[in-house]
Structure 1
Amino acid sequence: MTSGLKALGLKAISIVAAAALMAAAPARAQQGEIRVGEINSYSTLPGFTDPYRKGMELALKEINDAGGIRGQKLVVISKDDAGKPGDALTAANELVSRDRVALLAGGFLSNVGLALSDFAKQKKVLYLASEPLTDALVWSKGNDYTFRLRTSNYMQAAMLAEEAARLPAKRWATVAPNYEYGQSFVAVFRELLTKKRPDVEFVAEQWPPLGKIDAGPVLQAIDAAKPDAILNATFAADLVKFVREGNTRGVFKNRAVVSYLTGEPEYLDPLKDETPEGWIVTGYPWYGIDTPEHKAFLDAYRALHNDYPRLGSIIGYSTVRSVAALLERATDTSTEALIEAAKNLEVNTPFGPIVYRAGDHQSTLGAYVGRTGIVDGKGVMVDFAFRKGADYLPPEEEAAKLRPRN
Structure 2
Amino acid sequence: MSPTATRRLLVAAAFALALPAPLLAAEIKIGEINSYSGLPAFTEPYRKGWQLAVEEINAKGGINGDKLVVISKDDAGKPADAVTAANELVSREGVVMLTGAFFSHVGLALSDFAAQKKMFFLAGEPLTDAIVWSKGNRYTFRLRPSNYMQAAMLAEEAAKLPAKRWATVAPNYEYGQSAVAVFKQLLSAKRPDIEWVGEQWPPQGKIDAGAVAEALAATKPEAILNVTFGPDLVKFVREGNTRGLFQGRSVVSFLTGEPEYIDPLKAETPEGWIVTGYPWNGVGTPEHDAFLKAYQAKFNDYPRLGSIVGYALMKSVAAILTKAGSTDTDKLIEAARGIGVDTPFGPIVFRAIDHQATLGAFVGKTAVKDGKGVMVDFVYRDGAKYLPSDDEVKKMRPQN
Match of 1:287 in 2: 281
Q: State the 4+ residue runs in structure 1 displaced beyond 3 angstroms.
A: none
Say yes or no: does 1:160 pair with 2:167.
no
Q: State whether residues 368 and 385 of structure 1, in contact with CA within 8 Å, keep that contact through their aligned partners in structure 2.
A: yes
SS of match in other structure, 2:145: coil
User: Which residue of the partner structure matches residue 376 of structure 2?
Assistant: 382
1:3-402 paired onto structure 2 within 5 Å:
32-402=26-396
Q: Following the alignment from structure 1 to structure 2, what is the Cα–Cα distance between the partners of residues 397 and 246?
A: 42
Whether contact under 8 Å (1:283, 1:369) holds in the other structure is yes
Alpha-carbon distance between aligned partners in 2 of 1:215 and 1:378, rounded to the nearest angstrom: 22
Tell whether the 8 Å contact from 2:124 to 2:310 is kept in structure 1 after alignment: yes
1:36-75 Cα distance to aligned partner (Å, 9 max, x none) = 0000000010000000000011101111111111111100
Q: Is the 8 A contact 2:122 2:140 kept in 1?
A: yes
- Cα deviation, residue 31, structure 1: 6.0
Deviations 1:331-383 (A, max 9, x none): 31011110111100110000000000000000000000000001111100000
The two structures have a TM-score, normalised by structure 1, of 0.92
Does the CA contact (< 8 Å) of 1:139 and 1:360 recur in 2?
yes
Q: Secondary structure at the match of 1:276?
A: coil
Question: Is this contact kept in 2: 1:347–1:353, CA < 8 A?
Answer: yes
* Equivalent-residue separation in structure 1 for 2:25 and 2:65 (angstroms): 11
CA distance in 2, matches of 1:66, 1:125: 27
- Distance of 2:93 and 2:56 partners within structure 1: 24
Deviation at 1:400, TM superposition (A): 3.0
Following superposition, the deviation at residue 405 of structure 1 comes to: 2.6
> Which segments of 5 or more consecutive residues in structure 2 lack a partner in the other structure?
1-23
The separation in 1 between residues aligned to 2:391 and 2:223, in whole angstroms, is: 35
- Contiguous gaps of at least 5 residues in structure 1: 1-29
* Contact map agreement 1:357 1:396 (CA 8 A) in 2: no
Aligned-pair CA distance for 1:100 = 0.5
Tell me the residue number matched to 1:25: none
Instruction: Give the percent of matched residue pairs that are identical in Structure 1 and Structure 2.
Output: 72
The C-alpha deviation readout for 1:155-179, integer Å capped at 9, x for no partner, is: 0000000000000000000000000
Distance 2:147 2:194 in 1: 21
The secondary structure found in structure 2 opposite 1:401 is: helix
Tell me whether 328-337 or 130-139 shows the greater mean CA deviation: 328-337
Question: How many Å separate the matches in 2 of 1:144 and 1:216?
Answer: 44
C-alpha deviation, 1:396, in angstroms: 2.6
Counterpart CA distance in 1 for 2:393 and 2:137 is 13
Give, in whole Å, the separation in 2 of the partners of 1:110 and 1:127: 14
Deviation digits for residues 267-312 of structure 1 (CA, Å, limit 9, x no counterpart): 0110100000000000000110011100010001001100000000
Higher radius of gyration, 1 or 2: 2
TM-aligned CA deviation for residue 398 of structure 1: 2.5
Distance 1:388 1:208 in 2: 32
Counterpart of 1:306 in structure 2: which amino acid? Answer: N
Deviations 1:227-258 (A, max 9, x none): 00000000000000000000000100010000
Q: Cα distance, 1:404 vs. partner? A: 1.2
Letter in 2 for 1:268: I
TM-score (norm 2): 0.93
Aligned residues: 377
